């Protein structure tokens, strides 16, 4: 049963502030069961009793409504799912790896290793090959270099944006698998 919490709840007004169980003071409440069925508008005491019978928590999901909407659910699991969503959002950073068409083989391997690390950390990687001066004539060579890099990263990532020329730059985006 999850009625006694070791950590204090967040203060009202803070992000993620949700009232649970005895923190809910308003009565009556619109209550939703754990399986999603609407139980209707019932007194707070009866809603708390229903939650205790199911060994779950009474969680206020819409405090701004009148009467407030509460759901009977496992609050620990609810917080875990919320944290999981936040963690997943943090992983969508875009990392950039730059090189030139005349880049040496050892330098290219170093850049490739950096890209592997980024992909292992679940970051997207933007490959940029910058062309300057007479290098613009050899854009096909730069395109081949990017294709070669993408081919070597095939097991770690999938191509989200194929190599394309954008002015003096050739770019491609690889996302983690």
CATH at residue 36: 3.10.20.80
The residue with tokens 């030139």 is: 100
Tell me: do 103 and 52 sit in the same domain: no
pLDDT value of residue 1? 44
First-last CA distance in the chain: 38
C-alpha to C-alpha distance for 48 and 20, rounded to whole angstroms: 10
Quote the pLDDT of residue 61. Answer: 84
- Whether 60 and 78 map to the same domain: the answer is yes
Shared domain check, 73 and 113: no
Same domain (yes/no): 66, 143: no
Same domain, 42 and 113: no
14 lies in some domain:
no
Q: 3-state class of 117 per DSSP?
A: helix
Give, for all 177 residues of the chain, the pLDDT tens digit. Answer: 444 445 555 555 455 567 888 888 888 888 888 888 888 889 888 888 888 888 898 888 888 888 888 888 988 888 888 888 887 766 568 899 998 888 888 999 999 999 999 998 888 999 999 988 888 887 788 888 888 888 988 888 899 999 988 888 999 999 988
- Left if phi > 0, otherwise alpha if psi is -120 to 50, otherwise beta: which for 158? beta
Residue 20 DSSP symbol: B
Residue (of 47, 42, 45) closest to 59 by Cα position: 47
Please name which of 111, 105, 110 lies closest in space to residue 127, comparing C-alpha atoms.
111
Does residue 28 have a cis bond before it (omega within 30 degrees)?
yes
**Pair 77, 64 in one domain:** yes
49, part of any domain: yes
Q: pLDDT value at position 96?
A: 93
| Residue pointed to by tokens 């270099």 | 145
Domain count, the chain: 2
* Residues 34 and 50 grouped into a single domain: yes
Burial (CB count <10 Å: 0-12, 13-18, 19+), residue 50: middle
Q: What is the CATH number of the domain that holds 143?
A: 3.30.110.10
51/64 Cα distance (integer angstroms) = 22
pLDDT value of residue 16: 54
Q: Tokens 């199911």 correspond to what residue?
A: 54
Are 107 and 161 part of one and the same domain?
A: yes
Tokens 């062309």 found at = 131
Segments forming the whole domain that contains residue 152: 91-176
């Amino acid at each position: 049963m999850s009625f006694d919490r070791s950590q204090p709840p967040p203060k009202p007004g803070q992000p993620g502030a949700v009232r649970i169980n005895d923190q809910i003071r308003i009565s009556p409440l619109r209550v939703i069961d754990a399986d999603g069925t609407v139980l209707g508008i019932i007194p707070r005491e009866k809603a708390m009793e229903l939650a205790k019978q199911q060994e779950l928590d009474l969680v206020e999901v819409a405090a701004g409504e009148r009467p407030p909407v509460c759901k009977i659910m496992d609050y620990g699991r609810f917080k875990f799912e919320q944290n999981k969503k936040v963690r997943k959002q943090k992983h969508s950073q875009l990392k950039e790896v730059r090189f030139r068409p005349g880049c040496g083989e050892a330098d290219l391997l170093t850049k490739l290793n950096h890209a592997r690390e980024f992909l292992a950390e679940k970051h997207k990687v933007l490959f940029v090959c910058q062309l300057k001066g007479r290098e613009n004539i050899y854009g096909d060579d730069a395109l081949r270099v990017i294709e070669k890099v993408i081919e070597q990263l095939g097991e770690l990532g999938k191509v989200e944006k194929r190599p394309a020329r954008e002015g003096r730059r050739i770019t491609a985006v690889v996302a983690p698998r």
